[in-house]
Chains A and B, each alone.
Chain A
Amino acid sequence: MATRHQKTLARLMVAPSVLLLLGWMIVPLAMTLWFSFQSYNLLSPGMEQFIGWTNYKYFLSDPAFWTAMQNTLLLVGGVLVITVGGGILLALLLDQPMFGQGVVRILVIAPFFIMPTVSALVWKNMFMNPVNGLFAWLAKAVGAQPIDFLAQYPLLSIILIVAWQWLPFATLILLTALQSLDSEQMEAAEMDGAGTWAKFTHLILPHLSRAITVVILIETIFLLSVFAEILVTTNGGPGYQSTNLTYLVYSQALLQFDVGGASAGGIIAVILANIVAIFLMRMIGKTLE
């Protein structure tokens, strides 16, 4: 039994990490909230003044904001669809008997360890470049017109780059979950004459549901703040075609020096993330019981 002394000690041991995280949450967030009601530009210091909801009105009526919202959702949704769908297929494939399974796993997981700036620049220059990229060469080899991916389909290109980075993660987690599937159950199903599709929908998919939930949760956390991939490939353009909310706040604050407006955007991003988080936490709370 824990004594009173031990209980106090236990609290003291948790305290530093809780206080640090609390500070990390509250102090900057409170400042962002404060700035969001100020007219505050880094180019004219000392001119700050309270302007009420103006920044929010300005931000919400800016078409760039709605484009960024849409892009954020498309980016998160697109990458999730590709990685979860592709991840299930890949995990099923890697779970089959084969030679050199260990090496295959190592090759498949590799993109996850590549830093975002590297993978974005490699894709941008060595693959998607309309003159010197490999895709351009492939297109010319079959007699087609090379596509300037990042100019013509900026958001789609970024979705593909980010999906390449996250597909290994989804695959690895789903594969791990798949390997814990009871083989006796599978055999019993086979004996009962269950076809491949029936086995997949009635046995495999339910077994994977928890892992899929986890993949969606973790990926969403990271995908909501995709930044480096946009910064080094398109800078959010052309126009605002590949700007997400994170990038919009960044450019408003650090490129246009409009701290007030950017802060309003930041607060909106926080509110959105919270809405998503509430859903996700419910989902994960249920599966993690």
Chain B
Amino acid sequence: MARKVTNSRRWTFTILAWGVALLIFFPILWTILTSFKSEADAIASPPKFLFFDWTTENYAEVQSRSPYFRHFMNSVIISVGSTLLGLLIAIPAAWSMAFQPAKRTKDLLMWMLSTKMMPAAGVLIPMYLLFRSWGLLDTRLGITVVLMLINLPIITWMLYTYFREIPSEILEAARMDGASLMKEILHVLTPMAVPGIASTLLLNVILAWNEAFWTLNLTTSRAAPLTTFIASYSSPEGLFYAKLSAASTMAIAPILILGWFSQKQLVRGLTFGAVK
């Protein structure tokens, strides 16, 4: 593409785009800045943007007021655990749908997608009651399984779109050479599928990390991930903006970084391969 772009045009768009981007990003920036302020500076009027006494005491405070680290670990265990469990179940399914498609495979995939459309409100009550009678309320096991079920359709779809791009001739060649199915999966398919599996993993960890219906309803304290923990700040005690910001910054930082790495796969994953 050799369209000539005048310099002034380029600068106009640069300024415009940066302006809009900073505006959209501002709430996050503001949260990060506020997390380094004292509580008094956090509500100062006029607001203090950069010239305040930078402090890290809020971070220490958040940890001492509540076991922040435990909620953080809960988030890690629940999001990674549910994704790995989902991959374990979805990889064989996606493999078979991509390479041994039956007549109804496409319908099956659409049906899986449609399960995502079931409103959580329709199943909340029985899940809550079942969890209560099984002693699964506020356990990491319970919420991990639920999040796995929620993301299973997306995991299967994503893997399917990745697997489908692997040329089946290669698999057939391996089969001709007498490779067993296990060998075929382990030595031929897996290496080629690793990038697809990795981006599926990444996207679903992000989705599970931020899931805030089931985590809020099925966990309260022991198994509470960061979503539930942060929600406890909705009933404030005294001045809390700086502490809220510190807790929020720690909750969003890891996933923001992961997310930036995965933005290309994000489009593909969330659109079920329809937009690449």
A-B contact count (CB 8 A): 300
Instruction: Please report whether the interface of chain B is mostly helix, strand, loop or mixed according to DSSP.
Output: helix
Q: Is A142 an interface residue (CB 8 A)?
A: no
Q: Is B69 an interface residue (CB 8 A)?
A: no
Q: Is A194 an interface residue (CB 8 A)?
A: no
Size bin of chain B's contact surface = 35 or more
Minimum CB–CB distance from B164 to chain A (whole Å) comes to 13
Q: Which residues of B contact A43 (CB under 8 A)?
A: none
Q: Is B20 an interface residue (CB 8 A)?
A: yes
Cβ-defined contact, B24 with A270, below 8 A:
no
Chain B residue nearest to A273 (CB atoms) is B119
Cβ-defined contact, A108 with B226, below 8 A:
no
Minimum CB–CB distance from B94 to chain A (whole Å) comes to 9
In the docked arrangement, what's the CA distance between A7 and B206, Å? 35
Other-chain residue from A21, A98, A221, A273 in contact with B17 (beta carbon distance below 8 A): A98
Q: Which residues of A contact B115 (CB under 8 A)?
A: 21, 24-25
What 0/1 readout, one digit per residue, does chain A (257-275) give for beta carbons within 8 Å of chain B? 0010011011101101110
Cβ-defined contact, A172 with B266, below 8 A:
yes
Chain B residue nearest to A180 (CB atoms) is B276
Query: Given A116-B210, A116-B212, A227-B216, are A281 and B259 neighbors across the interface (CB < 8 Å)?
Result: no
Cβ-defined contact, B259 with A113, below 8 A:
yes
Cβ-defined contact, B21 with A126, below 8 A:
no
Q: Which residues of B contact A31 (CB under 8 A)?
A: 125-126, 129-130
Cβ-defined contact, B27 with A164, below 8 A:
yes
Other-chain residue from A183, A221, A228, A249 in contact with B116 (beta carbon distance below 8 A): A221
Q: Which residues of B contact A137 (CB under 8 A)?
A: 45-47
Chain B residue nearest to A187 (CB atoms) is B3
Q: Which residues of A contact B52 (CB under 8 A)?
A: none
In the docked arrangement, what's the CA distance between A236 and B272, Å? 33
Cβ-defined contact, B24 with A107, below 8 A:
yes
Q: Which residues of A contact B16 (CB under 8 A)?
A: 93
Chain A residue nearest to B267 (CB atoms) is A176
In the docked arrangement, what's the CA distance between A219 and B51, Å? 40
Q: Is A147 an interface residue (CB 8 A)?
A: no
Minimum CB–CB distance from A62 to chain B (whole Å) comes to 15
In the docked arrangement, what's the CA distance between A198 and B127, Å? 53
Q: Is B270 an interface residue (CB 8 A)?
A: yes
Q: Is B275 an interface residue (CB 8 A)?
A: yes
Cβ-defined contact, A126 with B119, below 8 A:
no
B98-141 residues at the A interface, CB under 8 angstroms: 99-100, 102, 108, 110, 112-130
Q: Is A205 an interface residue (CB 8 A)?
A: no
Chain A residue nearest to B125 (CB atoms) is A253
Q: Which residues of B contact A188 (CB under 8 A)?
A: none
Q: Which residues of B contact A262 (CB under 8 A)?
A: 125
Stretch from B60-68, B85-93, B188-196 contacting the other chain: B85-93
Q: Is A20 an interface residue (CB 8 A)?
A: yes
Q: Is A285 an interface residue (CB 8 A)?
A: yes
Other-chain residue from A93, A106, A126 in contact with B260 (beta carbon distance below 8 A): A106
Cβ-defined contact, A118 with B248, below 8 A:
yes
Q: Is A47 an interface residue (CB 8 A)?
A: no
A12-47 residues at the B interface, CB under 8 angstroms: 13-14, 16-18, 20-21, 24-25, 27-29, 31-32, 35
Cβ-defined contact, A263 with B24, below 8 A:
no
In the docked arrangement, what's the CA distance between A102 and B20, Å? 14
Chain A residue nearest to B112 (CB atoms) is A21
Cβ-defined contact, B31 with A126, below 8 A:
yes
> Can you list 14 A-B contacts with CB-CB less than 8 angstroms, sorted by A residue number?
A9-B181, A28-B126, A28-B130, A29-B118, A94-B17, A113-B206, A113-B259, A117-B228, A118-B31, A122-B248, A125-B244, A221-B117, A227-B213, A281-B110
- Give A contacts to B, CB under 8 Å: 2, 6-7, 9-11, 13-14, 16-18, 20-21, 24-25, 27-29, 31-32, 35, 90, 93-94, 96-101, 103-119, 121-127, 132, 134, 137, 140-141, 164, 167-169, 172-173, 176-177, 180, 183, 187, 210-211, 214, 218, 221, 224-225, 227-228, 231-233, 245-246, 248-250, 253-254, 259, 262-263, 265-267, 269-270, 272-274, 276-277, 280-281, 284-285, 287-288
* 9 nearest A-B pairs in the assembled complex, by CB-CB distance: A31-B126, A228-B212, A13-B92, A10-B100, A113-B259, A28-B123, A249-B121, A10-B96, A270-B122
